[in-house]
Structure 1
Amino acid sequence: MEEWTIRAGEAGKRLDAFLMERKGWSRSFFMKALRTKKIKVNGKREEPSYRLKEGDRLRSFVLDEKRPLPPPDIIYEDDHILAVNKPAGLLSLDVTGKTKDTMLDRVNCLLAERGETAAFPVHRIDFNTSGILLLAKKREDRDLLDRLIRERKIRKSYLCVAEGRMTPPKGRLEDQLFKDARKNRVYVVDHPVKGSKTAVTEYEVKSFRQGLSLVECHLLTGRTHQIRCQMAHAGHPLLGDDKYGSKEWNRDKKERRQLLCSYKTTFDFAEEGGALSYLSGKTIRLSRVPFVEKYFKGVMI
């Protein structure tokens, strides 16, 4: 069960709009939850058009309480933000409402147990990618974080395991990427075409062992599958990445998910950070990344 007490800034919002935005639900999923009496306002069922009032107590019984969700791995938390370590094989959130166990669900389940309001997702990490996921505790913080990410004032660093030895060991990948939405696949094109976007990634090889490179990547743009696609195009597909790499190689190594982790987030802003200016200069990082320990034991990250 999740519960929210409506604040002054949320008053006047429609019930359906509030929950669809807060939970990332589709309208059909919301309507099913309402029909099955899993949504209550002040203990009773209301229409989707009900205008929330300050002090209203809104409850959702959508989560299956018979199967408690695993607690999230929180690596940083304060009054404004949460940073959690999302494991590979877990959705960041689910806009279709078909999945009951996502990183957002796990976080909000924990917050509900504390008696706190649900968090707002700020960005996503691919299903098979692990690492730091940021969430905001207030809508205004979500909007601010979203702007800072778009302005590249929040720097995300990734570690990946790639095939072969990258040369030069430090450099920059700049390509035109085109996304085929139907296939959910990204392609490098030789020149700009309709729908293509520039993708820029800085990289540095941290170690090389037994035909594998441990590579740190910094995104200067945020395109779909950017690191995976660009690394494969450069001749160094990620270990475990069947979409852009070699299934045979991945099966030989017994890896079924791309070894890619968002392991470090750095906040680089000052006055433009507004209420979050206190975070400027701060770095949140993972203390360990399992695939680094597996293939590059002893390498410090």
Structure 2
Amino acid sequence: MKEIVIGENQAGQRFDKYLSKYLNEAPKSFLYKMLRKKNITLNGKKATGSEKLKEQDIVRLFLSEETIDKFSQVKVERSHGKLSILYEDKHIAAVNKPSGMLSQKASGSDVSLVEYLTGYLLESGQMKEEDFRCFHPGICNRLDRNTSGIVIAGKTLAGLQEMNEAFKLRSLKKEYLALVEGVVSSGAYLKGYLHKDEKCNKVVVEKEPFEGSVPIETEYRPLAGNQRVTLLNIHLVTGRSHQIRSHLASIGHPVIGDGKYGSKKSNQLFCDSYGVKSQLLHAYRLTMPELKGELNYLSHKVLTAPIPSDMKRVLEGEHIEESIHE
């Protein structure tokens, strides 16, 4: 017999859904048969599977260890490596993702921030492999592979749900730093329409709506610059794929180092001069909204990621004194 005490990450879901995760290789017909025969009980009583689980509920599996092992395969993909943690509490972690790291897997063989997060939680003792039977921590926002900066990870169900909702509602203020080509003397609020071609993983931006397009909004203001580049503070109002890079390129100010939407000539120049190999775009500040759930203690909290070394190297070489504080 195996006894399981329901924790906060399992509470709130139907009992049969939980069993399908815990005994993830078992047919549903087997689970319902075990419930009918009282080989699986909830708080010492016969259950139907439709019950809503609560914290501290007791689940008992009157099954052999061989049967449990056969039907319960814990699948934990992890990667070892040091993460730059900007902030952490019980529910969330704010990670400073480096350029070159995927936020999530694009294919089965990829290693992404999610696998590094899993490894970190296991190695720091915050989770055990057993915990992954019914809950997987994950990230709540994504950055392009070659964009650095703040990614929020949910370590608990409450953390994932509340942060995912905040990103979905666009109630967080997301600010980026971008070093762009040309002189930008004043700020602007850009509106446009974007369509992504999934085959070539590239987007098109136009001022007027067109078939398959979605509206985008990008606000920016110059911080510092010289006669060939400008450092911008960008407020990402909507959050579409490649939005900042394509929107800025559409007005003649592509991000330095951007091989997809930028200038080959400028990119080569900055590669030769400073070793720039990816876009100088950095998600540097995130301001939390008013939160009303378990994460209300995070209301209006500001998270900041330091300027990455490649951007800093160019700013120093171009004698641009960045001024990113209000």
TM-score (norm 2): 0.72
Greater Rg by CA: 2
Number of residue pairs matched? 257
Deviations 1:63-109 (A, max 9, x none): 5xxxx62111101000111000100111112153212x321111110
Going from structure 1 to structure 2, the CA distance change for 1:61 and 1:192 (only over 3 Å counts) comes to closer
Residue 140 of structure 1, CA deviation = 2.9
Query: CA RMSD, aligned part only?
Result: 2.4
Going from structure 1 to structure 2, the CA distance change for 1:232 and 1:299 (only over 3 Å counts) comes to same
Q: How does 1:1-301 map to 2 (within 5 A)?
A: 7=7, 8-9=10-11, 11-14=18-21, 45-47=69-71, 59-60=74-75, 62-63=77-78, 69-94=80-105, 96-99=107-110, 101-117=111-127, 119-167=137-185, 169-254=186-271, 255-270=276-291, 273-297=292-316, 298-301=321-324
1: CA distance, partners of 2:265 / 2:91: 45
Q: Does structure 2 conserve the Cα–Cα contact (< 8 Å) formed by 1:71 and 1:107?
A: no
Residue 252 of structure 1, CA deviation = 1.9
Residue 210 of structure 1, CA deviation = 4.4
Name the % identity: 32
Going from structure 1 to structure 2, the CA distance change for 1:95 and 1:152 (only over 3 Å counts) comes to same
Q: Which stretch has the larger CA shift, 156-165 or 87-96?
A: 87-96
Q: Does structure 1 conserve the Cα–Cα contact (< 8 Å) formed by 2:147 and 2:279?
A: yes
Consecutive unaligned residues in structure 1, runs of 5 or more? 19-41, 51-57
2: CA distance, partners of 1:17 / 1:240: 45
Q: Does structure 1 conserve the Cα–Cα contact (< 8 Å) formed by 2:178 and 2:232?
A: yes
Q: Does structure 1 conserve the Cα–Cα contact (< 8 Å) formed by 2:77 and 2:115?
A: no
Going from structure 1 to structure 2, the CA distance change for 1:182 and 1:61 (only over 3 Å counts) comes to closer
Consecutive unaligned residues in structure 2, runs of 5 or more? 26-64, 128-135
1: CA distance, partners of 2:193 / 2:202: 14
Going from structure 1 to structure 2, the CA distance change for 1:292 and 1:249 (only over 3 Å counts) comes to closer
SS in 2 for 1:240: coil
2: CA distance, partners of 1:235 / 1:72: 35
Q: Which structure 1 residue ranges, 4+ long, deviate > 6 Å from structure 2? A: none
Deviations 1:121-172 (A, max 9, x none): 21211101000010011123212211111212111110011000124x1111
Q: Does structure 2 conserve the Cα–Cα contact (< 8 Å) formed by 1:266 and 1:281?
A: yes
1: CA distance, partners of 2:84 / 2:24: 29
SS in 2 for 1:296: helix
Q: Which amino acid aligns with 1:288?
A: I
Q: Does structure 1 conserve the Cα–Cα contact (< 8 Å) formed by 2:90 and 2:156?
A: no
SS in 1 for 2:20: coil
Q: Which stretch has the larger CA shift, 110-119 or 253-262?
A: 110-119
Q: Does structure 2 conserve the Cα–Cα contact (< 8 Å) formed by 1:77 and 1:83?
A: yes
2: CA distance, partners of 1:296 / 1:161: 9
